[in-house]
Amino acid sequence: MSIESIVSQQKAAFSDGRTRSIKARKSMLKQLRMLISTHEKDLCDAIKQDFGKPYIESYVTEIYTLLDEIDYHLKNIYGWMKAESVGGPIVTFPSKNVIYKQPKGTVLIIGAWNYPVHLSLMPLIGAISAGNTVILKPSELAPVTSVKLKELFERYFKPDVITIVEGGADITTELLSQSFNHIFFTGSTRVGKIVMKAASENLTPVTLELGGKSPAIVFDDANIDVSANRIWWGKTINAGQTCVAPDFVLIHMSKKEAFIEASTNALSAFFKNDYHIGHNYTAIINHDHFERLRELISKSNVIYGGDSNRDTRFIEPTIVDATWDDDIMQEEIFGPLLPIITYDDEKEISSQLNKLPSPLALYMFTESKEKQEFVIQHVPFGGGCVNDTISHLSNPNLPFGGAGFSGMGAYHGKYSFDTFSRQQGVLKKPSWPDPDVRYPPYNDLTLSIFKRLFTK
Contacts with ligand NAD by CB under 6 A lie at 110-114, 119, 137, 139-141, 168-169, 172-173, 186-188, 191, 194, 209-211, 243, 332, 334, 360, 402, 407
CA distances from 50 to 119, 144, 168, 301, 346 (A): 15, 6, 16, 31, 43
CB of 83 to ligand NAD, least distance (A): 31
Catalytic residue annotation: 209, 243
What is the length of the chain?
A: 456
CB of 388 to ligand NAD, least distance (A): 18
CB of 118 to ligand NAD, least distance (A): 9
Phi, psi (degrees; rounded to nearest 5) at 381: -155, 160
Q: Counting beta carbons within 10 angstroms of the beta carbon of residue 447, is it exposed (0 to 12), middle (13 to 18) or buried (19 or more)?
A: exposed
Q: Decide whether 103 or 211 has the Cβ nearer to ligand NAD.
A: 211
Q: Decide whether 137 or 371 has the Cβ nearer to ligand NAD.
A: 137
CB of 187 to ligand NAD, least distance (A): 3
Q: Decide whether 255 or 392 has the Cβ nearer to ligand NAD.
A: 392
Q: Decide whether 13 or 136 has the Cβ nearer to ligand NAD.
A: 136
Calpha distance 385→23 (Å, rounded): 37
Taking each helix axis from N to C end, the angle separating 118-129 and 22-38, rounded to the nearest 10 degrees, works out to 160
DSSP 338-388: EEEEEESSTHHHHHHHTTSPPPSEEEEE-S-HHHHHHHHHHS--SEEEES-
Which residues sit opposite 315 in a β-bridge? Answer: 308
Of all residues in the shown chain, the one whose CB is closest to ligand NAD is 211
Q: Decide whether 52 or 240 has the Cβ nearer to ligand NAD.
A: 240
Going 126 to 129 to 135 to 140, the CA torsion angle's sign is positive
CB 80 within 8 A of CB 74: no
Q: Within a 10 A sphere around the Cβ of 454, how many other Cβ atoms?
A: 11
CB of 139 to ligand NAD, least distance (A): 4
Phi, psi (degrees; rounded to nearest 5) at 332: -55, 130
